């Protein structure tokens, strides 16, 4: 099993290229099930979750042609399509459930394993199932599988999500694209990966998806989608992570390949702690402060609030701040698993309910550490970069699910990091 060995402290300098977005690529890959013609997707990140999704689509009977130089794949429908998504492929990632809507709307049936992924919270799929049921899907759950079907074409409906859910919004949009008539979805998730990228991708292929309000989308069903070549947006969370790398380490970074307008909330918080930030078209220039200021309260919220996927990284940063900070986690109930490991490096953090009290001025000391989930893993990397001495981070397969060659990108900007098998 691979691990990282990091010798700190490091001051980072240079340029980082942001990879394609994992969270945009996954629903776009699931959408390829809707097509009769070939789909080419460019700028895919080389991360484990993408490999798993491609294996899943291949297992359904689609032909996958990879172009490693261009980070692109071509997905071609064959005559031999299956509608079974097995536990062996869906167990490691949450996004496996996104094939359910496309399979039922396109092929009128699906047998899909209940999903796995990180241990950060319960994340039930009842919002997905309720929305698809309103479109005409019938289902039962047996032995860990959703057995779903529809007697005829799914039919447009008005659906109001009781709670904002990224996955349920994506699944309902994907199912509605080929449904008969008009679908209106209210109280949708509006992450750029959905409102910008997934919507653009579908519309370029001939779908009729229109955002009519901040959280309301209207979809007029079409009979088929046309051949498309599409380039995925940059990864918002990777971009935010490298912004924190620069800030925590008194670094000087130029971050290329991402639109800064999509992370205004995060950049404003980094300015509050003292970072100097300039933004250009698809470029962010960021210089970390000599002294990091504390922030009284950060609360994770749905987009366009502060993202839960950057909570752990900001916690490492605020450990170095001058004074006490509080982070309130309102999205997932089990997302402070990195706290015990940060304490091993010397952090002073107490947890009460969904709030973490972070007592700053931590002088991190290198230690042996264990990753628990994707974003927690990178928080340990950030702390280790500025720690005195050597840190060893075990179980980095969590990191490989969402960050492309992070050790190579960090080495290039001055971090002493090695992957050890």
Report, as residue numbers or ranges, the catalytic residues. 118
Phi/psi of residue 67, nearest 5 degrees: -120, 95
Residues 152 and 118: beta-carbon distance below 8 Å: no
CA distances, 239 to each of 43, 246, 257, 294 (Å): 15, 11, 9, 22
Residue 350's Cβ-count burial label (10 Å; 0-12, 13-18, 19+) is: exposed
**Residue 59: strand, helix, or coil:** helix
Residue 112's Cβ-count burial label (10 Å; 0-12, 13-18, 19+) is: buried
Residues 240 and 23: beta-carbon distance below 8 Å: no
Q: How many residues does the chain have?
A: 421
Residues 6 and 416: beta-carbon distance below 8 Å: yes
Q: Two tokens at 45?
A: 């990140």
Residues 223 and 9: beta-carbon distance below 8 Å: no
CB atoms within 10 A of CB 42: 14
Maximum C-alpha span of the chain:
64
Of residues 26, 32, 75, 83, the one with CA closest to residue 51 = 26
- Residue spans of beta strands (DSSP E) within 29-125: 39-42, 63-67, 72-76, 84-85, 109-113
Sheet of 216-220, strand order? 158-160, 182-186, 216-220, 208-213
Q: Two tokens at 59?
A: 């297992």
DSSP 184: E
Return d(Cα 184, Cα 174) in angstroms, integer.
13
- Regarding beta strands 3-8 and 416-420, do their DSSP bridges make them parallel or antiparallel, or are they unpaired? antiparallel
Angle between helices 22-31 and 48-59 (to 10 degrees): 10
């Amino acid at each position: 099993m691979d691990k990282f060995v990091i010798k700190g402290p490091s001051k980072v300098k240079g340029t980082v290229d942001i990879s394609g977005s994992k969270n945009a690529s996954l629903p776009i890959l699931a959408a390829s099930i809707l097509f009769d013609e070939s789909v080419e997707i460019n700028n895919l990140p080389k991360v484990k979750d993408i490999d798993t999704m491609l294996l899943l689509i291949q297992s359904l009977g689609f032909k996958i042609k990879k172009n490693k130089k261009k980070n692109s794949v071509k997905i071609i429908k064959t005559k031999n399509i299956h509608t079974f998504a097995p536990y062996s492929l869906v167990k490691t990632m949450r996004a496996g459930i996104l094939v359910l809507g496309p399979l039922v709307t396109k092929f009128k049936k699906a047998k899909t394993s209940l999903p796995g992924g990180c241990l950060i919270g319960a994340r039930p799929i009842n919002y997905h199932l309720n929305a698809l049921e309103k479109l005409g899907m019938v289902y039962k759950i047996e032995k860990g599988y959703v057995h779903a079907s529809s007697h005829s074409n799914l039919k447009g409906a008005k659906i109001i999500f009781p709670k904002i859910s990224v996955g349920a919004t994506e699944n309902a949009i994907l199912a509605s694209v080929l449904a008969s008539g008009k679908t209106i979805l209210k109280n949708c998730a509006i992450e750029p990966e959905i409102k910008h990228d997934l919507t653009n991708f579908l519309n370029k292929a001939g779908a009729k998806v229109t955002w009519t309000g901040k959280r309301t989308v209207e979809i007029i069903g079409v009979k088929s989608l046309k051949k498309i070549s599409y380039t995925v947006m940059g990864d918002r969370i990777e971009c935010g992570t490298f912004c924190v790398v620069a800030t925590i380490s008194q670094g000087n970074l130029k971050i290329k390949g991402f639109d800064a307008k999509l992370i205004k909330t995060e950049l404003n918080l980094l300015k509050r702690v003292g970072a100097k930030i300039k933004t250009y078209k698809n470029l962010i220039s960021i210089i970390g402060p000599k002294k990091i200021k504390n922030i009284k309260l950060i609360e994770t919220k749905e987009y366009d609030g502060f993202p839960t996927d950057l909570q752990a990284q900001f916690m490492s940063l605020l450990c170095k701040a001058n004074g006490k900070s509080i982070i309130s986690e309102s999205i997932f109930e089990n997302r402070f698993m990195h706290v015990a490991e940060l304490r091993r490096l010397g952090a002073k953090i107490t947890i009460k309910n969904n709030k973490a009290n972070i007592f700053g001025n931590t002088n991190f000391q290198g230690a042996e550490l264990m990753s628990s989930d994707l974003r927690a893993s990178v928080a340990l990397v950030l702390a280790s970069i500025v720690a005195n001495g050597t840190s060893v981070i075990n179980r980095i397969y969590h990191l490989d699910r969402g960050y492309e060659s992070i050790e190579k990108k960090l080495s290039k900007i001055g971090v002493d990091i090695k992957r050890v098998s």
